[in-house]
Amino acid sequence: MKACPEITDYAASGISNWRDLMTTAAQVRGYLGISPSAYEDALDVFGQENTAIVIACILQRAQTINSAGGYLRTLTEKVRAGEFAVGPMLMAALKANGVQPQLVTGT
């Protein structure tokens, strides 16, 4: 939520868990003009949680993305080719919002 706070504006009762995020992302998909087929393809490749994260990131940068559906399809193809991971996208979104990401190390 720190990386992509705009998605909370679309949540009916706030976002307090993964289910809330995934439900809200599925709704936002339509607002962004992402086709059901592009969304389903992303779900197959990314999984539900990562697709929700990617949609939240796309929403956060919606003013700079010409075609949210095309962008999601491109990212989906990059994942298939092993050329994209969600982690760096999320870290970039955190930095863009002025949050300094902190690494958690095991003990």
Rounded to two decimals, the pTM is: 0.88
pLDDT band at 66 (very low <50, low <70, confident <90, very high): very high
Q: What is the pLDDT of residue 100?
A: 73
Q: How far apart are CA 10 and CA 80, in angstroms?
A: 29
Amino acid 106: pLDDT: 58
Q: Domain of residue 59: give its range.
A: 5-96
Domain assignment present for residue 14? The answer is yes
**pLDDT (mean) for 19-25:** 96
- Please, which pLDDT band fits residue 31 given cuts at 50, 70 and 90? very high
Is 32 within the bounds of a domain? yes
Residue 46 inside a domain? The answer is yes
Longest dimension (CA), the chain: 45
Task: State yes or no: pLDDT of 39 exceeds 70.
Answer: yes
Is residue 103 assigned to a domain? Answer: no
